[in-house]
Amino acid sequence: MSTTTRKTKSKKNRNILEMLGIYSVIGVMFVIILYPLLWALGLSLNPGQGLFGAQMIPENWSLAHYEWLFFDPRSNYLTWYKNTLIVAVSVSVIGTFIVGLTAYAFSRYRFKGRKNGLYAFLLLQMFPVLMAMVALYILLNTIGLLDSLLGLIIIYVGASIPMNAFLVKGYFDTLPRELDESAKIDGAGHFRIFFQILLPLAKPILAVVALFNFMNPFMDFILPRIVLRSPENYTLALGLFNFVNDEFANNFTRFAAGAILIAVPIALVYLFLQRYLISGLASGATKG
């Protein structure tokens, strides 16, 4: 066997081993992700309430838990769903708009305090909102927004600005400044440049911000737990907690059914924004 043939065969074997390794890692990650989802779906179809005796693929499956969530008068699930959608849509739209304006200002203009403002954004990203919970509670109580969806929306919007503004600013920095200058020569003002020229070009990164802002109220439990008090104001994460903690006492099957339905609006928004997400994640924060 010639040296060239041996090298070719050795290279082919290495490529096969590399591919097997890659597919093995993908397979393991797929199982890790899919296994709990299948259990949650199977649990939601199991009769009864507890975890004991539940099966991932139930023999006598039933949609009774889903029917209870939607049609039983004792269920507040639709109210919690409505509250969460109100908060999620509001935070996504308002937060993305404010982030876009903030990032545009820091990217395109030079003003006193600009550098310190950017440093402040970087610094604020290091501290979670949880550290300010006591101050936020006192603030909302002082202005009369405790136990209200508006107070929750304000906190979510404010918390999303530092990180997202820095991310979007990096994207704006990649857009040629010649676009602004050409528009100014044609008589365009600052807002016209932002809305008609830069904003359409920034759709990918703004789609990423909108998706993250939309998902957060569906996933977060701690902040609603501190801010909200009345059951009619609960979001889904806080309301579903009652299924395993409060009056419904360890009703894990209904909890699983409610949790599965949380994925529906997130999946729809993801599919709607999918064409923008990959380019937005790849291009964001490429420049500081």
Sorted by where each begins, the domain ranges of the chain are 3-62, 76-283
**Residue numbers in the chain where pLDDT is lower than 70:** 1-7, 9, 50-54, 129, 246-250, 277-288
Output Rg (C-alpha) for the chain, integer angstroms: 25
Q: What confidence score (pLDDT) does residue 81 get?
A: 94
Tens of pLDDT, residue by residue over 212-265, are: 999 999 989 989 998 998 989 999 999 888 777 765 456 788 888 888 899 889
Sign of torsion over alpha carbons 206, 212, 217, 220 = negative
- 102: nearest Cα among 18, 162, 24: 162
pLDDT score of 153? 95
- Output the 3-class SS for the chain: CCHHHHHHHHHHHHHHHHHHHHHHHHHHHHHHHHHHHHHHHHHHHCCCCCCCCCCCCCCCCCCHHHHHHHHCCCCCHHHHHHHHHHHHHHHHHHHHHHHHHHHHHHHHCCCCCHHHHHHHHHHHHCCCHHHHHHHHHHHHHHCCCCCCHHHHHHHHHHHHHHHHHHHHHHHHHCCCCHHHHHHHHCCCCHHHHHHHHHHHHCHHHHHHHHHHHHHHHHHCCHHHHHHCCCHHHCCHHHHHHHHHHCCCCCCHHHHHHHHHHHHHHHHHHHHHHHHHHHHHHHHCCCCC
Residues ≥6 apart with Cβ < 8 Å to 283:
171, 174, 204, 205
Sign of CA dihedral 241, 243, 249, 252: negative
Q: What is the per-residue pLDDT for 210?
A: 92
What is the distance between the alpha carbons of residues 280 and 221, in angstroms, rounded to a whole number? 28
Whose tokens are 């906190």? That residue is 155
Q: What pLDDT is stored for residue 45 in this prediction? A: 85
Distance CA 86, CA 234 (A): 12
Phi-psi region of 62 (alpha: psi -120 to 50; beta: other; left: phi over 0): beta
CA-based end-to-end distance of the chain: 55
Q: What is the pLDDT of residue 285?
A: 40
φ, ψ at 284 (rounded to 5°): -65, 140
Sorted by sequence, the CB contacts under 8 Å of residue 129 that are 6+ apart come out as: 136, 155, 159, 223
pLDDT at residue number 155: 92
pLDDT at 201: 87
- Domain spanning 76-283: CATH 1.10.579.10: no
Per-residue pLDDT, 204: 87
Give me the pLDDT at residue 287, please: 42
